[in-house]
Structure 1
Amino acid sequence: MAERCLADCAAMSDHNLPAQLTTFVGRAAELSAIATALRGARLVTVVGPGGCGKTRLAVEVAGREAERWPDGVWWADLASTGDPLVVQELVAAAGGLLTASASLAGQIQDRRILVCLDNCEHVLGAAAEVAVALVRACPHVTVLATSREPLDVAGETVWRVPPLSGDDAVALFNERSVQAAESEVARAAVRTACARLDGIPLAIELAAAWSGALSAQEILRGLDDRFSLLIRGPRGVAARHQTLAASMAWSHDLLDEADRVLFRRLGVFHGGFTLAAARGVCGRPDEMAVLGGLRRLVDKSLVIADTGGDVTRYRMLETIRRYAVARLDASAELDLIRDRHLDTCLAMIEEAAPLLAQDKDAWRATIEAEQENLRAATEWGLSQDDPERGRALTAALPWLWHLGGRGHEGLVLLHQAIERGPAERTRLQARLLTGLSLVADTTRPFGLEYDAAQAALDIATEVGDAPTACLARLLSAVGVFYQDFDTGWSLAEAAREQARQAGDGFVIDGATALMGIIRHLRDEHEEAVPLLREAVQGLVRRGDRGVASTALAFMASSAVCTGDLLQARELAVEAVRTARPLADYHRIGSAAGVLATVEAAAGRLDAAHAALDPIVRLVADADAPPFVPGLARAKGYLHLQAGRPADAVTWFKREAGRLDGDVESYLTPQTLIGLAAALRSIGDTQAAASAAERALKVAQRIGMPRVVADALEQSAYLADPDQAEDLHHQALALRTDHGLWPSCIDSLEALATFTSSPEAVRLLAACDRARQDMGFPRPPQNHADLRTTAEDKAHDPAWTEGHTLSLQDAIDYARRARGKRGRPSTGWASLTPTEQTVVRLATEGLSNPEIGARLFMSRSTVKTHLSHIYAKLAVANRTELATIASPHLTNR
C-alpha cells in the first residue's frame, strides 16, 4: 500500500501534525486497531516503552483519520516542558488559541477536534487534567495521547504498542539501511538482529544506520554491547531518541528511588519471573511493596505482565533488561543480587522436587518457565570460590535437560559441576554423575552414559543413597544394552528389584520398559509387549512421558513386525502424542520415525512424509546435532520406497555417520541394511555387499534375529543364484521362527524367483492374499516383473490354488523340498521342513488326502512322509505323534 504523505495535512490551518522526514513502514494491524479504538472511545492513550514508535503511530493514525474531525487535529508535544503549568499553554498554542488563561473547554465548545497529547509521561498529572476536562466539557472532542504509562483516569482506553512483527522489523531495517543485505547469510543476520532488538523501532533504526560501515553480520555481533553500538541517531530528533541508552535513561529518570532500585534488581532475571521470585532478589521485603513497584513499572512500560496463567509472570524486553543490568552493575550490588537470585532458584527447585516422583508434567510446567533463570543461576554458582550452591542446583536439574531440547547445555554444566569436586565421594557427587548419565541418555549416550552411571553407582552405594543408586543402576543398564543385551537385562532386573525395595516407581517402570525393549530387539514379541504395556501404565500415570513414548514406539514396532498394522498405527500415534508436550528432538523425533515407518508400510507415503518432515526440519535447524535414533533411517527408507535411492543413500549415510566410531550398537546394523539396499539400487554392489556383511556380523554378535534375516536378504540379492537361494531360506527360517510374518512375505516373493512357473505363481498368489489380509501393499521395487507375470495368470489354476494357502501353508510349501545339511537320523531335529509341515497338519486333524491337497502332493506321498516320521520319532500312530510333537509346535 502506498504510504500516505502527511504534508497536505500539516499545511492545513486546522491541522498541525508534525512533518515526518522518513517513510512510515508496516504496522498495518496496529494502525487499524488504534483507529478502531478511537471510534469507540473519546480518550485513547497509546502506551509503550521508549523507542517503540508511539509518536509515529499516533501521527499516522491522526493523519489518516483527520477527516473525522473537520474542525482540526491539534498536535501538542509535551516533551518540551517539565512544568505542569505549561501543559495547557502548549495545547492552546497547538489549536491557535491566544491564551490558555481561560478554560480550554470553554473556548472549544462544540467544535469537532482531535487533540493529540504527545509524550505525557513526565507531566502525567497535568496531561490527565487537560484530557479529562476536554472530554467532559466538549462532547465532540476526542483525545489521543502517547505516554510511557497510562494517564490512569476514568474512561481511558489504554492501547499498548507491541513490538514490530518479524517481517515489519526487517522491512524497517532495510528501509533505513544505507546498503541492503544481499546474501542469504546477511538477510538471516538482519532477521536475527531485529529479533534480538525486541522489534523496537528506535533500536532497529539505530542498528540500520551502521549498514554503511559494518556488514549485517558485524552489526549482529555488535549487539552483544548494544548500548555502545546503538548511538549516533539522526540529527534533528529529540535527544532522548538519539541513542538507545538515552531513550532508556529518559524512562529510568522518571522513576522514584525505590522503583529505580527494584528496576535494576529485576534485571538479574532471564526469561521472566514471578512476584515470589522478585521478592527473593529484593531481600524478601513486604509483598505489597514489591507488588506495588511492579505495577508502577508495568504502567511505565518497563515491565510486561502476563496474566494469562494461574500465576502472573513478569518480564522485560531484552533491551530494557540489558539497561537494568547496566544500572545494577553501576550500583555495586550486582554480586549481591546474583547471590540472591541463585538462592531464589535453589528454593524454587527444592520446593518443586516432590513433583518429580509424583507428576513430572506438573514439575515441568513449574520448572521449564524458569529455564533461562536456572541456567544463569547455575553458571553464577559454579563460578564462585565456593561452588556448592551451584553444584546443588545443577544436581537438581538433569530431568529438565533430559526431557527438553537442551541436553548439550546440560552436559556442559554437569561436567563443570563434577569437575569442581572431582575427588569427592559424596551424595552430591553421586547425584551429579547420575544426572550426567541421565542427560547423556537422550543427548550422547555411547560410552559417557554407562561410565558416569557406574561411577555414580559406586559412590551412591558407598554413602548409602539408595534412590540415587537404583537410578544409576538403571542408567548403567541403558548405557550397556546398546551393545550387550544380556548384561543390560541383568542390570535392569537388579535395578527393578532394588527400586521395589526403595519404592521408586520410575525406576521400576523404566527397568520394566528396558526389559521389554530388549525382548523386542531379540524378536521375542509375545514376551516384549506385556512388559512394555505394564511399564507404560505406570509411566503415563506419573507424567513420565519420555520413557512412556519410547515404550509405546517399541510396541508399535512389534505390531508392525508381527503384521498388525492397525494396532501399530494406533500405538505410534499415541507415542507421538505422548511425547509432543516435551518439545524435544529425541523423543518426538524417534516416535515420529516409527509413525512414518508404519504409514509407509501401509503404503501411505504422503502421510509418512507428513509425520516426519516437520521433525526433520527442526533437527536440521538445531544448534548442535541432536541424538534422534532412527529418524534419518526412516527418511532413507521413505526415499527408497519412493524410488529415489540416491537420496536414500544420503540419509542412511547421515545416520551411519552419527553412529560410527568405536561403538557398534544395535542401531548400527539396522542403518547399514538400509544403506546396503540403497547402494544396491544405485548399482554400487561392492559397497552394498560390504554394508550388508558388516550389518550381519554386528546383528549376529548382539543377537537380533530380524536384523540378521534382513542382512541375509540383502546379501542374497548380491550373491550368485545357488548361494542366494540358500540365504533367502535362512532369512525365511529366522522370520518364521520369530513370527515376523510381513517379512516372511518378502522372503517368499524372493524365493519365487528360484522356482518353476507353477510354484512361483502359487507362492506369489499366497503372498498376494497375505498382503491383502494384513494390509501390507507390495513395495513397487519388490520383484515387479515376476508379480506382473503371476497376475497375468490370474485365471491359471496355480494362482487360484495359491490364493487358498495361508501364509504358514505357503511357507511350508516353499520350504518342503529344502533339507537341512548335517541333520541327525532320529528325533525332531531329523525331520525335514516338509516332514515338520506334515506333522503340524496331521496333529491339526487333517486327513491324508487333505494334507496332500494342502501341500500339492499325492495321498501316497503323504503316507510315505508319515511312515518316515513315525520311524524317526519312534511312534506308532497319530496320537503318539501329537504327544511328542506338541512342544515343538507351540510357538508355530
Structure 2
Amino acid sequence: MAEVKRMLSASRLVTLTGVGGVGKTRLALRVAEDARRAFPDGVWLVELAALTDPALLAQSVSEALELRDHSSRPAVETLVDHLRDKQALILLDNCEQLVEDCARLTDRLLREAPRLRVLATSRQALGTAGEQTLAVPALALPDADGPRLSTAALAQCDAVRLFVERAGAILPGFAVTEANRDAVERVCRQLDGLPLGIELAAVRLRALSVQQLLDRLDDRFRLLTQGSRAVLPRHRTLRALVDWSYDLCTDKEQLLWARISVFAGSLDLEAAEAVCGGDGIGREEVLDLVTGLVDKSVLIREDHPEAVRYRMLDTLRHYGRDRLAAAGEEAVRLRRHRDYYRGLAAAARAELFGPFQVPWFARLQREHTNLRAALEYSFAEPGQATVGLGIATDLLYHWITSYYLAEGRGWLDRGLALCPEPTEERARALWTDSWLAIIQLDIDAAADMLEECRALGDRLGQDSVPAYVALYSGMVAMCRGNTESAVGLYEEAVARHRATGDPVGLALALIRLSLAHSFRGDAARAVAVGEESLAVCDAHGEGWHRAYATMALGVEVWRQGDHERAEALEAESLIFNRSLDDPLGVGVNLEVLAWISASRQRYQRAARLLGALQNIWQSVGAPLSGYGHLVRYHEGCEAATRQALGKQAFQAAVKEGARLSYDEAMTYALQDRLPGPSAAGEAEPSSPLTPRETEIAELVAQGLSNKEIAATLVIAQRTAEGHIERILSKLGFNSRAQVAVWVAGQRRPEDDVEAE
C-alpha cells in the first residue's frame, strides 16, 4: 500500500499487474479508500470484468461516474468535459480484456484533465507514456531457508494469516498449533501465497483435515506439472488449483458451475433455475447445488434488500465457460440466457404501468450487465437481430430512468439498421428511439424516425402506431416552437390511446397536453387535463408518470400564483424522482422550485437552486432536456434573481449552490437546509407534506384507524387511505409507527407547551 501511494504521488497513471487471484483489486480498493481525502472530486470505481465490447468502454466509465448525458455526443467527449477541471481518482479494474482500448482512453483523459489520476488493475501493463507499474506479489511466506519460526510468528505471516482467518470462518476457533503448523505452512507454500488459492483451499476444511488437504494438493499439482512452459508458473498453479476445486465438486455442481458461466455480473436463484436447469439438473435441484457452490467459494453470496444474488469470480467464470464449450453446451446455454432476459424485459414492459413499477426499475438496474449480454448475443448471432431489437424496445423506461440513455439509443439504432423489414417490431422501435432522440435534443433525427413510423403504421394497420406517432410528434412540435400544432397532436394522441385502452400512452399524452395548455395560457384546461392524468395514474397504482403529472400541474399552479401549493406539488414529485434516481425528473423539479422561489422573492434560495441545476444539467447533457419550451421560465427566473440580488451576490449564491453535492442539493431543495451551520435568515426546514397530509399524519400519530380518520375529517375512507399511502411514499416509510415517530420529531418545544 505504501509503495502504491508513493507511485500515485509521482505518476498520474499507476497499473497494478499480476496473475488472476493475486489480490490486485483488493489492494487497489484499499489504497483508493485511504487516499479518498486527497481527491475532493471523488474516487470512482469502474468495474470492467463483465465488459467485452470496446465501444461501450467510455460509456461504462461514464456510468460509474454517475454521468447521465442525454445528448448525442460521444461518451468520451462527455467524460473529457466532466473531468477537465476535476481532482479525482479513477480506479479501472480488470483492464486485461480491453487493454489497448483502456490505454487509449486513459491517455486521452490524462491529457485533457491535468488533475486526474488513474489507478488500474490488469494482468498486463497498459503500455502508455508515464505509466508506472507494480507487479502485485503473492502474500508473504516464511523464509524457507531461514530459522524455524515460533507458532505465534508463523501465524503472523500474511499467507498463513489469511489461511487461518478463512479456516476460522469454516471451523470456529481454528488456529495454528504445533500439531498442524507444518501442514499449514506447506499448504500456503504449495499455493504460492495466492489469496484466491488460499481461500478456495481453506473452504475444503469443511470436509478435510489440514494434512488431507495438503496430500490432495500434492496429488493434483504433481499431475499438472507438464503444463505449457510459456505460461507463468503462477498461472499454472492457479489453473491447477481451479482444476482441483472443480474436481472436488459433484458432477452436478460441476455442470452448474459451467452453465452459470454464461451470466455476466451477478444472478439470482430464479435466473439460475431458468437458464441452468434441465438436461441433467432438475429445476428443484438448483437451490442445493447453488448452496454447494457457495460453500466451496465458487459462487459469492451478495445480500440485497430484495433478494440474495450470486457472483462468480472472473477467473472461475472463464474457467467454467471453457468447460461449457468443451461439453458442447455453450450455444444452448447462451440462447437460454438470452431468452430468459428477453422474457424479463417483456415482463417489465407489461407491468410498467402499475404498483410494481419501481421494483421492476430496480431489478432491471441490477440485471443491466446480463441484459447487455443478451443484446450482444442477439445482434452477433445470425438471424437473431429482431429479437435484440425487441429487447431494446421493451427496455425503453430502463434507458430513460437510469444512466443508460445513450447506450439504449445505440442498441436501438443498431437494431433498426439490422432489421429493415416493415414489421410491427420495427414500428415500435422507431417511436421508442424517437423519444430517446428527443431527450437528446436530436430533433431532426426524431422527426425522420416518426415520419417512417407513420408510413409503416398506415401499412400495417396497427392502431397503436399512429397513437404514439402523434404523441412524439407533438413533442417534436413543442421543441420547434409550434405550440398550436403540438396541442392538436397531443389531443389526437389522447383520443387514440383512449380508443386502444393504453394507459401508458394516455397518461404520457395527458401530461404533455397539460404542459402545452399551460404554456399557451389556458389555465383551466391545463389543470383539468393535469388532474385527469393523475387520475389515470392513481387508478393503476402508478408512480413514475404520476411524478411527472404532478410536476406539470405544479407548473400551472405556480403560474396561477398559488406558490405554496405549487411548491408542495414539486416537492412531492421530487421525492419520487429522487428515490428512482431519475436525473431528468429531478432537474425539472429543481427548475420549477427555483422559479417558485423567485416568485416568492426568496432570491437567495432561487440562486442557489440555479447553481445546483448547473451540475444536474451538465450530467444530463442538455438543459431542460425534452422540456426545452420551458426555458423562458428559467430565463425569467434568472433575470429577476440577478436584478434583485445584484451581480456579485447573485454569482456568490449560484456558486454556493453549485458546490453542493447531489444529496446536499436534494436536502436543500426539500428542507431548505444547507450543510453545516444554517445561513442567517434561512427559513426553518419545510415539511414535504401538504397541509392536509400533515393533518392526517397527526391523526395517524394519535393512533386513529383509516376509518376513524375518514370519519373525523368527513372524507371517504378510500380518500384517507390514498393520503396515507402518499405520506408513506413521501417520507420513505413503510409503517404507521414510523409516521408517528416522525410527527413527534417535527413538533417544536413551544408546540408542546401550547398542548399542555
Work out the CA distance in 1 between the residues paired with 2:158 and 2:354.
62
Q: Deviations over 1:321-343 (max 9, x none)?
A: 34444554565543332212111
Work out the CA distance in 2 between the residues paired with 1:394 and 1:616.
31
Partner of 1:391 in structure 2? 389
* Structure 1 segment 598-613 matched on structure 2, within 5 A: 598-599=596-597, 601-602=599-600
Residue number among 621, 637, 649 corresponding to 1:626 in the alignment: 621
Residue number among 558, 571, 575 corresponding to 2:569 in the alignment: 571
Unmatched tracts of structure 2, length 5 or more = 3-139, 189-197, 218-227, 648-756
SS in 2 for 1:273: strand
Q: 1:574 to 1:351 in 2, by over 3 A?
A: closer
Work out the CA distance in 2 between the residues paired with 1:396 and 1:505.
16
User: Does residue 538 of structure 1 match 2:532?
Assistant: no
Partner of 1:279 in structure 2? 273
Q: 1:72 to 1:384 in 2, by over 3 A?
A: closer
Alpha-carbon offset, residue 130 of structure 1: 11
Partner of 2:437 in structure 1? 440
Residue number among 519, 522, 542 corresponding to 2:520 in the alignment: 522
Asked whether the 8 Å contact 1:76–1:118 carries over to 2, the reply is: no
Residue number among 625, 629, 635 corresponding to 1:666 in the alignment: 629
Work out the CA distance in 1 between the residues paired with 2:304 and 2:438.
35
SS in 2 for 1:305: strand
Match for 1:20: what amino acid? C
Work out the CA distance in 2 between the residues paired with 1:618 and 1:315.
33
Partner of 2:72 in structure 1? none
Work out the CA distance in 1 between the residues paired with 2:327 and 2:611.
51
* Structure 1 segment 746-765 matched on structure 2, within 5 A: none
Match for 1:529: what amino acid? V
Work out the CA distance in 1 between the residues paired with 2:319 and 2:595.
51
Partner of 2:35 in structure 1? none
Residue number among 504, 507, 512 corresponding to 2:505 in the alignment: 507
Work out the CA distance in 1 between the residues paired with 2:298 and 2:549.
47
Residue number among 477, 482, 506 corresponding to 1:480 in the alignment: 477
SS in 2 for 1:511: helix
Match for 1:45: what amino acid? A
Alpha-carbon offset, residue 498 of structure 1: 1.3
Partner of 1:377 in structure 2? 374
Alpha-carbon offset, residue 547 of structure 1: 3.6
Work out the CA distance in 2 between the residues paired with 1:669 and 1:486.
17
Partner of 1:15 in structure 2? 152
Partner of 1:126 in structure 2? 208
Q: Deviations over 1:836-890 (max 9, x none)?
A: xxxxxxxxxxxxxxxxxxxxxxxxxxxxxxxxxxxxxxxxxxxxxxxxxxxxxxx
Match for 2:262: what amino acid? V
Alpha-carbon offset, residue 304 of structure 1: 2.6
Asked whether the 8 Å contact 2:483–2:516 carries over to 1, the reply is: yes
Unmatched tracts of structure 1, length 5 or more = 38-42, 48-53, 64-70, 83-115, 132-144, 149-227, 233-238, 631-658, 685-892
Match for 1:562: what amino acid? Q
Work out the CA distance in 1 between the residues paired with 2:582 and 2:236.
43
Match for 1:532: what amino acid? G
Which entry has the higher C-alpha Rg, 1 or 2?
1
Q: 1:304 to 1:126 in 2, by over 3 A?
A: closer
* Structure 1 segment 547-586 matched on structure 2, within 5 A: 547-586=545-584
* Structure 1 segment 707-718 matched on structure 2, within 5 A: none
Q: Deviations over 1:299-347 (max 9, x none)?
A: 1122133465555432224454344445545655433322121112223
Q: 1:22 to 1:256 in 2, by over 3 A?
A: closer
Partner of 1:45 in structure 2? 169
Q: 1:258 to 1:309 in 2, by over 3 A?
A: same
Q: Which has the higher contact order (CA 8 A, sep 6+)?
A: 2
Q: 1:573 to 1:318 in 2, by over 3 A?
A: farther
Work out the CA distance in 2 between the residues paired with 1:11 and 1:335.
54
User: Does residue 427 of structure 1 match 2:424?
Assistant: yes
SS in 2 for 1:563: coil
Partner of 1:96 in structure 2? none
Alpha-carbon offset, residue 369 of structure 1: 3.0
Q: 1:336 to 1:577 in 2, by over 3 A?
A: same
Match for 1:291: what amino acid? L
Partner of 1:292 in structure 2? 288
Work out the CA distance in 1 between the residues paired with 2:313 and 2:405.
26
Match for 2:366: what amino acid? A
Work out the CA distance in 2 between the residues paired with 1:431 and 1:369.
25
SS in 1 for 2:422: coil
Asked whether the 8 Å contact 2:277–2:286 carries over to 1, the reply is: no
Alpha-carbon offset, residue 517 of structure 1: 0.3
Partner of 1:321 in structure 2? 317
Residue number among 462, 465, 469 corresponding to 1:465 in the alignment: 462
Q: 1:585 to 1:445 in 2, by over 3 A?
A: farther
Asked whether the 8 Å contact 1:352–1:366 carries over to 2, the reply is: no
Alpha-carbon offset, residue 289 of structure 1: 2.5
Alpha-carbon offset, residue 364 of structure 1: 2.6
Residue number among 444, 448, 453 corresponding to 1:456 in the alignment: 453
SS in 2 for 1:15: helix
Partner of 2:78 in structure 1? none
Work out the CA distance in 1 between the residues paired with 2:390 and 2:581.
26
Match for 1:382: what amino acid? F
Q: 1:350 to 1:675 in 2, by over 3 A?
A: closer
Alpha-carbon offset, residue 427 of structure 1: 1.0
Alpha-carbon offset, residue 613 of structure 1: 6.8
Q: Deviations over 1:157-204 (max 9, x none)?
A: xxxxxxxxxxxxxxxxxxxxxxxxxxxxxxxxxxxxxxxxxxxxxxxx
Match for 1:570: what amino acid? A
Asked whether the 8 Å contact 1:401–1:410 carries over to 2, the reply is: yes
Work out the CA distance in 2 between the residues paired with 1:310 and 1:44.
29
Q: 1:616 to 1:439 in 2, by over 3 A?
A: same
Work out the CA distance in 2 between the residues paired with 1:449 and 1:117.
54
Q: 1:455 to 1:13 in 2, by over 3 A?
A: closer
SS in 2 for 1:405: coil
Match for 1:415: what amino acid? D
Work out the CA distance in 2 between the residues paired with 1:613 and 1:542.
37
Partner of 2:94 in structure 1? none
Asked whether the 8 Å contact 1:586–1:628 carries over to 2, the reply is: no
Work out the CA distance in 1 between the residues paired with 2:412 and 2:370.
16
Work out the CA distance in 2 between the residues paired with 1:125 and 1:683.
76
Work out the CA distance in 1 between the residues paired with 2:199 and 2:484.
79
* Structure 1 segment 699-778 matched on structure 2, within 5 A: none
SS in 2 for 1:126: coil
Alpha-carbon offset, residue 611 of structure 1: 6.2
Work out the CA distance in 2 between the residues paired with 1:16 and 1:345.
52
SS in 2 for 1:392: helix
Match for 2:417: what amino acid? E
SS in 1 for 2:265: coil
Q: 1:565 to 1:117 in 2, by over 3 A?
A: closer
Match for 1:383: what amino acid? A
Q: 1:618 to 1:127 in 2, by over 3 A?
A: farther
Work out the CA distance in 2 between the residues paired with 1:605 and 1:503.
46
Asked whether the 8 Å contact 1:399–1:438 carries over to 2, the reply is: no
Asked whether the 8 Å contact 1:450–1:478 carries over to 2, the reply is: no
Q: Deviations over 1:416-461 (max 9, x none)?
A: 1111122x22111111112212333434452233332332233234
SS in 1 for 2:152: coil
Work out the CA distance in 2 between the residues paired with 1:310 and 1:513.
32
Alpha-carbon offset, residue 504 of structure 1: 1.3
Alpha-carbon offset, residue 542 of structure 1: 3.6
TM-score when normalising by structure 2: 0.54
Q: Deviations over 1:750-771 (max 9, x none)?
A: xxxxxxxxxxxxxxxxxxxxxx
Q: 1:506 to 1:118 in 2, by over 3 A?
A: closer
